[in-house]
Structure 1
Amino acid sequence: MVEKGEAMIYMEPEKQVMSRSADECVVALCDQWYLDYGEENWRTQADLCLQNMETFCDETRKNFEATLGWLKEHACSRTYGLGSRLPWDEQWLIESLSDSTIYMAYYTVCHLLQGNNVSGQGESPIGIRPEQMTREVWDYIFFKSAPFPKTTIPKEKLNKLKNEFEFWYPVDLRASGKDLVPNHLTYYLYNHVAMWPEDSGKWPVAVRANGHLLLNSEKMSKSTGNFLTLSQAIDKFSADGMRLALADAGDTVEDANFVEAMAEASILRLYTWVEWVKEMLANFDSLRSGPNCTFNDRVFESEINAGIFKTEQNYEKMMFKEALKTGFFEFQAAKDKYRELAIEGMHRDLVFRFIEIQTLLLTPICPHLCEYIWSLLGKTDSIMNASWPVAGPADEVLIRSSQYLTETAHDLRLRLKNYLAPAKGKKGDKQPPQKPSHCTIYVAKTYPTWQHITLSTLRKHYQANSGSLPDNKVIATELNSLPELKKYMKRVMPFVAMIKENLEKKGPRILDLELEFDEQAVILENLVYLTNSLDLDQIEVKFASEADDKIREECCPGKPYSVFRTEPGVPVYLVKPTALKWPLFHED
């Protein structure tokens, strides 16, 4: 129809487009050069490049795949603006998005061609002039199979350039905005595989796309006043306070949120950390020495090792918010827990190992403060020359047993609070009960029969369904058919709901019929801590099998049952007598 003059090609934007000069844009069909990104063989290689490339985020990978799916011809030239001349048609300039996709190859040799001059006007440290860098010279640098060119550049100098490129390439990481995935970053893949079709070792290794930055949960805008320049932020929050808040702002392609209140809290956290280090240095001799083999020593050491491993993984994945969580917030929480639970005192070696490792883990985010702490520890070399800490063995079962202790202590405090609450009755009759002096904690080796049967059924379904549980209706129908559970059905489904919730949080070990550690041993090792924290005279630990039916029904593995009581006692007061003076009497 076009050939017969019955139709014409018509194009228009999918929505209104306004230029930076506030003019409405229209589509014009002009003579143009196009890059055919949809070409089958080229597309296949781009797909292969993406398949082997790290994107750090599924959404980024899906955006790349979608772009490769629709991207066809791309207009790559124009008649005005910045850009290089098209070699075979110099009336055209190559537009910037098409011309800026392998420029990072130049970075590998620019220091030898222009020295430290960013403008490109500096003298070459090895004496090479710009006019000597012909196309054949560049081919020799960038392609292994290219012949040595006809050039006045000495071979040893040219080989130096080639060796630099071979050493630094490929690009291990390209960090950019998520809005550039549909254009620049996809061209980046296409043009690399076009330049080195037979050498996949030169293809990009990883692309990290990030979202935009919000300020206090709102888009930054000068017109609204919600705006903060980098220099203003550093003056207000310090470099390290700013870096800490930015790391905590977000990791994925979702928009990160820089919150000023978080930046202020970050400065306080860092200040508190420095002051605690100084306090430990001042109290060095008063810290416990000798073997570090108590329950809480072993837990703390395992938590340190686990923190190193998790934080290293998060840094490798460029998940800085998670790295901050595992390498600072959770690391500090482990220290605070150790300080609270270690009734016998914190061990000196563990405390200073913790300080050193904490400093190293935080260095990528807060280098200035960590350099200062490193000097406080008496290190003569810069922390920038220090090695990443090596994680020792982390006993996950031991760590979970410590979490159990924390949860048990919390549960005991709640039960004690409820015990001391006045009984409900008429006004004026509410008398608070007497403060208890003793407590008996009952622990169970096995679940009550009805819970045991329910858990066994859930385990069977979980294993049969490759790690998932069926609908509650299916579970209820099956459990309702079991005669052993008839009288417990009102309690069975709430128990199933609790197990399902914990399954998401803690994983399949929640379906185990027995605990992986000895509850009684954990409580006995920390009996002094529990007794002191509850302000009791004595706590005893017994097995639920020794108790009555009610306690046996209520008590299950991981959920001890406590009974408070007040036992009669006689108050004893210790008085330090005043020292007697000699002689006691004298004669006149």
Structure 2
Amino acid sequence: EAVEKLRLQDKKFEVVGEHNGDYFVGKDCTDPLGRTIPILPSSFVDSANASGFVHSVPGHAPYDYVGIEDLKKDGKTLEKYPGLKEKAEALKPIALIKTPGFGEFPAIEIVERMKIKSIKDKSALDKATAELYKAEYYGGTMRDKLITLGLTPDENNRNNFGCLQYSGSSVEKAKEDVGAWLMRDGLADEFHEISRQAQCRCGGTVFAAIMPEQWFLDFNAHGWKEKSYSCLEEMLIHPEVYRKQFRDVFAWLDKRPCARRRGLGTRLPFDKNWIIESLSDSTLYMAFYTVIKKIREHGVTEEKLTPAFFDCVFLGEGEGEPSVPKQVLDDLRAEFLYWYPNDLRHTGVSHVTNHLSFMIFAHTAIFAREQWPRGISLNEMVISEGQKMSKSKGNVVLLDDVAKNYGADLFRLYMVSSAEMGGTLDFRRKDIESARRSVARFASLCEGMAEAAKSEGKDGDAVRWFLSNFESALKESTQALEELRLRDYVQISFYRVLNQFEHLQKRASVEEKNYVAKRVLSKWIRLLSPVMPHLCEELWEKSGGKGFVSVAEWPPVEEALIDEKAQAAEDYVLKAASDAREIIAMLTRKQPRKIAKITLTVASQKKREALAKLLESAPSADAITPASPDDALSLYAAKNFYVLSAAKLREIDEKAVLAQAAGFLSKELGAQVSVETEEESKSERREKAMPLKPAITIE
């Protein structure tokens, strides 16, 4: 492979013979400093990488140190190659680098610390290598004197050789300087390898090649990176965590091939024998999208799409292509300015290292600042049924199947609600079927409300609770949408509101439901139109909406309807019902029986006042100290401190709220529900009543 790679990289050489690796073991070679060094066998060297020979640094490379120590113990291999045992025994690690946190021979130190016993401990060696290389590269400096293990100070002084001109340099700088010195003196040559193994679609292995007369984009051209960094810092990057990845890519970009000899594409204007490479050619297509419709509309043919044409349309420079009428050019220019700049580009995270970074560079090179891209949003990859998609696993999700089996709206709702942009989406068919049922409930509910809105309605406690929750959801989900927290937007605007609607169906009278329908239906459809545009257009028309919902005014939040007291009161009813269900389930689990009566006993006014004062005086739950183990009120306050602190404790008339809901609770719980105060009660359980947690007696 090395011969083939060298040929592809235009190296001039002659093959004088072919030998297996065994042929070289035990022989000597000369390093660039003129020293004679032995060639050793190794099980961890990748023979497919570069020449297949690797320089060993046992003082600083855990793999090299452990490999040599293993070799010294491998009698069979030492006997196979004459003289190898003596050469292996003579090898001594040499310290070149001084690194904070490590001694003279960091490879030996980290191997002993991690208790690595042999070259078979690959996982531990990988960790040790990563830790040590990072520490040395970013924090290490070249030593003033080389230190060989086992030599006295005088012997080390006599044994110092080469490279000491780099003493004191950082490892990062010394690596570049040593490489430049070896190249300059003809002691080394470049050998290019790709960063990871890859295969082309035909099944062949991909190698790095040097093309004669290759064209490059120089990303370090004067001022270009500065402009691109400026563009990046002004852009929205969502999720924000990926901004650093863009910065790292910008810093790494240098010269990149931008043309190839074969395939489809645009001819390089500087040399028609070359075709512009696809990633270099595709980073401005969003600009072309803005005008292609007008180009076809005006019948502008291919030969008229000259540089002068695009200078005029995209840059507003020059008179344009003479064969295209001025009014056509003006129309195209206006169309471009209407759409540009690109406000938001959305794609996968894998494109940060190429397409998206190139897009920013291309725009800053060609366009004025006001036409630079404004934002990029990104999502992680999609897996299926808990696993990476693979044909062999049969879990690939095809877009054609999505359209046929689910439709756009259901798929959009499911995808957005299942994961944040920065998280991995696990596509599961049972989950999307569950979402399908929720969408069907939403559609049915909206159609029912469209009819209900035609009838007379009336206000009530349940109405005030629902409208307050709906306006709060509208406010929260609108903010989430503006901040691109799309999962929060759907969870709040769709699922939370849908669940509250279902409670309203059981809690409210027909007239109250009619009242809600008139106030909410139009807003809810508009609120969900970004995620389910097609369904919402149909529901908009059925509900009497004018025009298209997609261009309707965004629903305003009616702050006056947000009634925290009403929300707290109904939430209190729901919690009481939930607690009663749990007790009933516990009592009837082993011996099923009919529950005839349920008594809810609300806490005394004395307890309410005491709890309110306790919460006002305590900055945290830890500050509440029960007077004794029997101080139930203080124990209750400490356990539920944050919930109680947020509650409208003084504003809720617990008995009145539960009494008003007694009919609903009786129907829900399947038994007659009565309400009393602790002061009125004769029940033995009355002392169990706590503020916002009534005692529950089951008969």
The structure-2 alpha-carbon separation of the partners of 1:250 and 1:437, relative to structure 1 and needing over 3 Å to count, comes to closer
* Preserved contact between residue 412 and residue 562 of structure 1 (Cα < 8 Å): no
Change (3 A) 1:358 1:434: closer
Q: Give the alignment partner of residue 379 of structure 2, picking from 204, 210, 222.
A: 210
- Letter of the 2:399 partner, please give it: L
Partner deviation per Cα, 1:101-152 (whole Å, 9 max, x = no partner): 122112222112123xxxxxxxxx2x544333332332222224x3435724
Q: Does 1:445 align with 2:608?
A: yes
**Alignment-derived partner of residue 672 in structure 2:** 536
Q: Secondary structure at the match of 2:603?
A: strand
Q: Percent identity?
A: 23
**In the alignment, which of 445, 456, 478 is matched to residue 618 of structure 2?**
456
The Cα shift of 1:276 comes to 4.0
Aligned match of 1:6 = 187
Q: Secondary structure at the match of 2:189?
A: coil
Partner SS for 1:175: strand
Q: Say if 2:241 is the partner of 1:59.
A: yes
C-alpha change, 1:163 and 1:276, in structure 2 (3 Å) is closer
Q: Which residue of 2 aligns with 1:562?
A: 695
Alignment of 1:272-351 (within 5 A): 272-279=441-448, 289-292=456-459, 294-342=460-508, 346-351=512-517
Whether the 8 Å CA contact 2:599–2:674 is kept in 1: the answer is: yes
Structure 2: which 5+ runs fail to align?
Answer: 1-181
1:131 aligns with 2:313: no
Distance of 2:457 and 2:331 partners within structure 1: 57
The question of 1:18 aligning with 2:199 is answered yes
Aligned residue for 1:395?
A: 562
Alpha-carbon separation, structure 2, partners of 1:303 and 1:513: 15
Q: Which has the higher contact order (CA 8 A, sep 6+)?
A: 1
Higher CA-based Rg: 2
Q: 1:448 to 1:283 in 2, by over 3 A?
A: closer
Structure 1, unpaired ranges of 5+ = 116-124, 423-429, 460-474, 567-588
Bigger Cα displacement from structure 2, 205-214 vs 343-352:
343-352
Is 2:296 the partner of 1:114?
yes
Q: Give the Å deviation of 1:409.
A: 2.5
State the distance in 2 between where 1:556 and 1:44 align. 65
* TM-score scaled by length of structure 2: 0.64
Secondary structure at 1:23 match in 2:
coil
For residues 21-49 of structure 1, the C-alpha deviation after alignment (integer angstroms, 9 at most, x for no partner) is: 22222223444333232457322322222
Q: Pick one of 146, 154, 159 that aligns with 2:325.
A: 154
TM-score between the two structures when normalised by the length of structure 1 = 0.74
Secondary structure, aligned partner of 1:55: strand
The residue type paired with residue 265 of structure 2 is G
The residue that corresponds to 1:518 in the other structure is: 652
Does the 8 A contact of 2:525 with 2:536 survive in 1? Answer: yes
CA displacement 1:197-256 (0-9 Å, x = unmatched): xx3221111112222332333333233322343333333334444443334343414332
1:263 aligns with 2:432: yes
Give the SS at the match of 1:337. Answer: helix
C-alpha distance in 2 between matches for 1:547 and 1:537: 16
Deviation at 1:403, TM superposition (A): 2.4
Q: Distance in 2 between matches of 1:493 and 1:217?
A: 46
1:87, CA displacement in angstroms? 2.6
How far off is 1:298 after superposition?
A: 1.1
Instruction: Say whether 1:141 aligns with 2:301.
Output: no
CA-CA distance at 1:181 after TM superposition: 0.7
- CA apart distance, 1:435: 4.8
Distance in 2, matches of 1:317 and 1:405, equals 34
1:5 Cα offset (Å): 1.3
State how far apart, in whole Å, the 2-side matches of 1:220 and 1:284 are: 47
Aligned length: 511
1:362 aligns with: 528
Aligned equivalents of 1:21 and 1:98: distance in 2?
23
**Any residues of structure 2 matched to 1:77-226 within 5 Å, and which?**
77-115=259-297, 125=298, 127-144=299-316, 146-149=317-320, 151-196=322-367, 199-226=368-395
Distance 2:223 2:636 in 1: 58
Residue 352 of structure 1 and its aligned partner are, at CA, apart by 3.9
| Matched residue type, 1:151 | P
Instruction: Kindly indicate whether the alpha-carbon contact (under 8 Å) linking 2:615 and 2:637 is maintained by their aligned counterparts in 1.
Output: no
Gap change, CA 1:192 and 1:517, over 3 Å in 2: farther
- SS at 2:346 equivalent: strand
Task: Map 1:420-431 onto structure 2 (within 5 A).
Answer: none
Contact (CA 8 Å) 2:215, 2:259: kept in 1 or not? yes
**Are the structure 2 counterparts of residues 498 and 194 from structure 1 closer, same or farther at C-alpha, using a change threshold of 3 Å?**
farther
Q: Deviations over 1:65-112 (max 9, x none)?
A: 332233333222222223333333333332111121122112222112
Relative to structure 1, the CA distance from residue 276 to residue 142 in structure 2 (aligned partners, 3 Å threshold; closer, same or farther) is closer
Structure 1's 178 and 491: CA in aligned 2 closer, same or farther, altered over 3 A?
farther
Query: 1:446/1:556 Cα in 2 relative to 1: closer, same or farther (>3 Å)?
Result: farther
AA matched with 1:311:
S
